[in-house]
Amino acid sequence: MANYFNTLPLREKLNQLGVCDFMDSSEFLDGVSAVKGKKLVIVGCGAQGLNQGLNLRDSGLDVSYTLRKEAIENKRDSWKNATENNFAVGTYEELIPNADVVVNLTPDKQHTSVVTSIMPLMKEGATLMYSHGFNIVEEGMQIRKDLTVIMVAPKCPGSEVRAEYVRGFGVPTLIAVHPENDPQGKGLAQAKAYCVGTGGHKAGVLKSSFVAEVKSDLMGEQTILCGLLQTGSILSFDKMIEKGIDAGYASKLVQYGVEVITEALKQGGITAMMDRLNNIAKIKAFEVSEELKTIMRPLFQKHQDDIMSGEFSRIMMEDWANGDKNLLAWRAETGETAFEKTPAGDVKIGDQEYFDNYTLMVAFVRAGVELAFETMVDAGIKPESAYYESLHETPLIANTIARKKLFEMNRVISDTAEYGCYLFDQACKPLLSDFMKKVDTDLVGKNFNEGKDGAVDNRALIAVNDALRSHQVEVVGAELRKAMTAMKSIKTV
Amino acid sequence: MSEPLVHIQNLTLQYQSKVVLKDLNWVINHGENWLLSGASGSGKTSLAKIIAGLQPSIGTVKINFNTQSNLPAKALYVESWYQFKNVEGVANFYYQQRYTSQQTKDILTVNAELMAYGKENNLDFSEVEILLNAFGFSALKNSQLIELSSGEHKKLQLVKALWLKPHLLIIDQPYTGLDAASRQNLNNLLDEVTKFGVQLILICSDAQIELPKSINHFAEIKETQFVELNSRQMMSVLPERPMRELPNFLKIPPPYSSDTIVKMIDINISYGEKQVLKNINWHVKAGEKWLLQGPNGSGKSTLLSLINGDHPQSYANTLYLFGNKRGSGESIWDIKQHIGLISPEFHWYFDASSTVWQSIASGLYDTVGLFQTLPYSKSAQVDELIEFFGLTENKNELLSTLPLGKQRLVLLARTIIKNPELLILDEPCQGLDQSQTTYFNHLVDELCSNGVTLIYVGHFESALPECLEKRIVLENGEIKSVGTLLESCITEEEILIN
């Protein structure tokens, strides 16, 4: 199988990268009718599979699950999830031949084997749905020409998909139709209807393409979302220990700080996050993040280049074939860091203290979000797509760190994200070693404002505020966030 | 020992521009156990939290624990509601999540929770068994916290508090959601711990409810002041709220789409080995007024969740709602549009970041939080209902900033805003003071005169609306009795159970 993207002429590459349409709610007035009465068969019953299925059934649709024979015979968790909630469960042979829409919600790594086994069983003219385009775009999976191939990707963990649905709302969702597989032209109508069935149409839907989704998703997850949060957390913790800050305090500050800080990001973008700092701290965080952007820009560009050329997926699939040798080594290394091994202390840290005593992380987040966004846009990805894969997802990942630190984050995210995260982290730490030598406890561990006169120069402050507010990620973000303001916050502290 | 246990001087508490407590003084001497009452919103909960050190205030609060005693030197406050967290510290659960079976075991079991608590506080594990038995909780030891009902969560908090035996134990609304037998057991256990030197402050405004014998001092908060009472009988009688005329749009009979509102045929619900509903057959016809009763954990909430479209297992049962078979292609929103529902759990999980106006308006769309713009005619009805409930001055305030009793009134208004065919009122008056309860029951009677169908859950001794005419009683997941309210003979045994 050849990398699909690389088979395209430049014109078509740009064309598919540029599919990006923030859909008006009037596009969903037909509700679920395009899939009503059709047989929806979901492959896999993990967190996404179960929760999407519960929503679809509660929207009046016909949902059942198909699992591998061993999962059924051994009554694995996926089998229990489905049967205990009264869904019909069957093997591929039993359910796929009658399915109108087969929904593939298995992990990326299994896609080739799953799709290879189900495709011959699918009936003529049926639809195959993905929630991530890696298999189609990077692995170049060829789908039978009579089948329609669509994507519906809720941009939240499965539990949120369910929680928002039952209260009458939804989560932001990305939909796409594969241009090589839309023989009857029904792909978009079905993707929209499926999206309504999960409740996604109420929180903002972005029409994208398989290509744009993959190239932006990979970029976001390995740089700002997972990679930089991991690097920043480890470096911050180590710095505090080096400077004699109490280890329990340092551990707590790092574990929960990123969640508290990025909650402001979710509500009001970089601007709201930076506005939580005092003026002097804000100017300092701005300067530090400018420096970080200069240092890290080449690394961000390298990641984007390798993603575009297919080099990234090539080496990752090589590692898959090699029994995950690199992945497992890096995972073990992450589990052994001092941050991971130091439990959070039993100290109370107030909401504002997370900003004042962890200004360094604010600078990391601003630098990472803006860099990832700029690099994606420079590579031909549209700003709306870039927003979803940078700023929008940062608080969601931060929440996994607050739950159980980095090891947990890497367990929860997809296998491609985990691999990319380590790759970034390995390269970023040495890159920042000179920078970190200059960092002291005023930026991380102690209150930045302590012992300082809070006065600032008017013009300096105005210039900083202007630079922050006029950045394209802020302009696009303000528009997109309007559609999702009603989402509840996820909170650990 | 001459120093009092609690000495409060000139305590003042202001919430935004409103003075809640002003120059309050209160002395609690050793050996005293207090009952604190007051109208909804009078500041009882705030005062309790201040004493427990959970909320700041102006003035001095001195606590002198007896250094001779070996009880934990602690003022423990037990909230009237409790939000648990999963093992990762996340408290983001959603309404009715407990009915969905999920294999991710990231929520503690009752047993694990108690083990952790006992270890943290160095407690004797043999004692907790006695407490669990007293509350009929032993069977729930292996349940995950999320599977517990609101009443069961309450009991778990009480078990933990009684096990710890803190020097000062403050319990906010100890009896809400508890059945009669559990209340009696609680009172005995409270009396028991006072013998070890635990001192009590119980916050409760219900003048009828039976208290532990050890309660020997009474007080109430009245217009920002602390007033000590000679006896419980001196508790202020709240003025009855004048009934206003029902808005016209609520006088119109609901448009029934079918004569059959609910029809259950041999309903069975179980989680793994545990069966929570057994062979339930029940028929609710349009316009009927039902009272649903049963002890804590008898299956009442599960039964109602089937009607409200909230239970995943309803797809595998024979159930007709509003004339249609469940699972025949309808969405849960098709079902909910016929129903106005309120329950303690619904309140618990409601979106606290909505304003009063938005909360009520969201009832038109059955959503938790408002995501739509209302047409003028509807928004005028919301205003009218807000006026009717006397909430106009609160209409732009966040729901979470109001006292619990008022929040409950707001959610009641949300329940009726669309003039639904079926009203499900599951302990609607929990958290209301007496004048609010009387007012609300009158209101239900008046609303019901337009022919709405009603299912009302209420414990026996609490005040009930007069319009109720039929009764169904559950016990251990089975129907114990069903018939008209007049026929059903109330035996001593039943009073005890309920």
What secondary structure letter does DSSP report for B166?
Answer: -
Answer whether B345 touches A (CB < 8 Å): no
Task: Give the pLDDT score at A151.
Answer: 98
Higher pLDDT, A456 or A403: A456
Give the model confidence (pLDDT) of B136-147 as tens digits.
787 788 887 877
Please give the share of chain B, as a percent, with pLDDT higher than 90. 42
Of residues B272, B331, B353, nearest to A59 (C-beta): B331
ipTM value > 0.85: no
The CA distances from residue A113 to A79, A148, A186, in Å, are 19, 19, 26
Looking at B60-200, list the stretches that DSSP marks H as alpha helix, in order from N- to C-terminal side: 110-120, 125-134, 150-164, 180-194
Q: Kindly determine whether residue B101 and residue A168, on different chains, have CB atoms separated by under 8 Å.
A: no
| CA-based nearest residue in chain B for residue A402 | B88
Scanning A279-318 for CB atoms below 8 A from B yields none
Give the residue-averaged pLDDT of A335-362: 93
Answer whether A343 touches B (CB < 8 Å): no
Neighbouring CB atoms inside 10 A of B320's CB total 17
Give the residue-averaged pLDDT of B167-182: 86
d(CA A51, CA A340): 30
At residue B84 the predicted structure's pLDDT band, cuts being 50, 70 and 90, is low
Answer whether B351 touches A (CB < 8 Å): yes
- In the predicted structure, residue B295 carries a pLDDT above the cut 50: yes
Contact status, residue A263 vs residue A475, Cβ threshold 8 Å: no
Give the model confidence (pLDDT) of A12-48 as tens digits.
999 999 999 999 889 999 999 999 999 999 999 988 9
Q: Kindly determine whether residue B101 and residue A84, on different chains, have CB atoms separated by under 8 Å.
A: yes
Give the model confidence (pLDDT) of B425-472 as tens digits.
998 887 777 777 888 888 888 888 889 999 999 875 567 888 999 999
d(CA A226, CA A408): 11
CA distance B272 to chain A (A): 8
State residue B362 phi and psi, 5-degree precision.
Answer: -65, -20
Q: Kindly determine whether residue B100 and residue A162, on different chains, have CB atoms separated by under 8 Å.
A: yes
d(CA A382, CA A216): 9
Give the residue-averaged pLDDT of B368-374: 86
Looking at A88-209, list the stretches that DSSP marks H as alpha helix, in order from N- to C-terminal side: 92-95, 111-118, 134-137, 158-166, 187-197
- In the predicted structure, residue B340 carries a pLDDT above the cut 80: yes
In sequence order, what are the beta bridge partners of A89? Answer: A65
Q: Kindly determine whether residue B333 and residue A168, on different chains, have CB atoms separated by under 8 Å.
A: yes
- In the predicted structure, residue B15 carries a pLDDT above the cut 80: no
Answer whether B90 touches A (CB < 8 Å): yes
Give the residue-averaged pLDDT of A177-203: 96
Task: Give the pLDDT score at B103.
Answer: 62
**Best residue of A45, A159, A408 to probe chain B, by most B CBs closer than 10 Å:** A159
At residue B83 the predicted structure's pLDDT band, cuts being 50, 70 and 90, is low
Closest by alpha carbon to B303, among B321, B277, B330? Answer: B277
Q: Kindly determine whether residue A58 and residue B367, on different chains, have CB atoms separated by under 8 Å.
A: no
Of residues B313, B331, B365, nearest to A86 (C-beta): B313
**Best residue of B103, B120, B330, B337 to probe chain A, by most A CBs closer than 10 Å:** B103
Round the average pLDDT of chain A to a whole number and report it.
93
In sequence order, what are the beta bridge partners of A43? Answer: A66, A104
Task: Give the pLDDT score at A493.
Answer: 42
Contacts of A59 in chain B (CB under 8 A): 331-333
Give the residue-averaged pLDDT of B248-255: 90
At residue B495 the predicted structure's pLDDT band, cuts being 50, 70 and 90, is very low
Answer whether B270 touches A (CB < 8 Å): no
The CA distances from residue B429 to B348, B414, B495, in Å, are 14, 15, 20
Answer whether A26 touches B (CB < 8 Å): no
List the single range of A134-143, A252-261, A466-475, B63-72 with lowest mean pLDDT: B63-72
- In the predicted structure, residue A153 carries a pLDDT above the cut 50: yes
d(CA A282, CA A359): 8
Task: Give the pLDDT score at B69.
Answer: 81
At residue A296 the predicted structure's pLDDT band, cuts being 50, 70 and 90, is very high
Answer whether B330 touches A (CB < 8 Å): yes
Give the model confidence (pLDDT) of A418-473 as tens digits.
999 999 999 999 999 999 999 999 999 999 999 999 899 999 999 999 999 999 99
Q: Kindly determine whether residue B272 and residue A402, on different chains, have CB atoms separated by under 8 Å.
A: no
- Token pair 């014998």: residue: B213
Strand runs labelled E in B212-273: 217-222, 225-229, 260-271
CA distance B401 to chain A (A): 17
- In the predicted structure, residue B491 carries a pLDDT above the cut 70: no
Q: Which two tokens stand for residue B3?
A: 């120093």
In this structure, is the dihedral angle defined by the CA atoms of residues A229, A231, A235 and A238, taken in order, positive or negative? positive
Task: Give the pLDDT score at A114.
Answer: 96
- In the predicted structure, residue B191 carries a pLDDT above the cut 70: yes
- In the predicted structure, residue B339 carries a pLDDT above the cut 60: yes
Task: Give the pLDDT score at B93.
Answer: 65
Q: Kindly determine whether residue A167 and residue B369, on different chains, have CB atoms separated by under 8 Å.
A: yes
Task: Give the pLDDT score at B85.
Answer: 58
Answer whether A346 touches B (CB < 8 Å): no
Q: How many CB pairs under 8 A join A and B?
A: 90
- In the predicted structure, residue B173 carries a pLDDT above the cut 90: no
- Exposure of A301 by Cβ count < 10 A (0-12 exposed, 13-18 middle, 19+ buried)? middle
Q: Kindly determine whether residue A80 and residue B103, on different chains, have CB atoms separated by under 8 Å.
A: yes
Give the residue-averaged pLDDT of B217-225: 90
Closest by alpha carbon to B64, among B76, B73, B72, B54? Answer: B73
Task: Give the pLDDT score at B90.
Answer: 52
Using DSSP's 3-state secondary structure scheme, residue B177 falls into coil
Using DSSP's 3-state secondary structure scheme, residue A15 falls into helix
- In the predicted structure, residue A304 carries a pLDDT above the cut 60: yes
Using DSSP's 3-state secondary structure scheme, residue B77 falls into strand
Catalytic residues of A: 132
At residue B153 the predicted structure's pLDDT band, cuts being 50, 70 and 90, is confident
Phi-psi region of B213 (alpha: psi -120 to 50; beta: other; left: phi over 0): alpha
Contact status, residue A139 vs residue A172, Cβ threshold 8 Å: no
Side by side, the strands of the sheet bearing B6-15 are B18-28, B6-15, B58-63
Q: Kindly determine whether residue A168 and residue B366, on different chains, have CB atoms separated by under 8 Å.
A: yes
Neighbouring CB atoms inside 10 A of B255's CB total 8
The CA distances from residue A454 to A282, A284, A354, A362, A443, in Å, are 11, 12, 19, 19, 16
**What residue type is B345 in one-letter code?**
E
Give the model confidence (pLDDT) of B53-82 as tens digits.
888 888 889 998 888 888 888 899 998 766
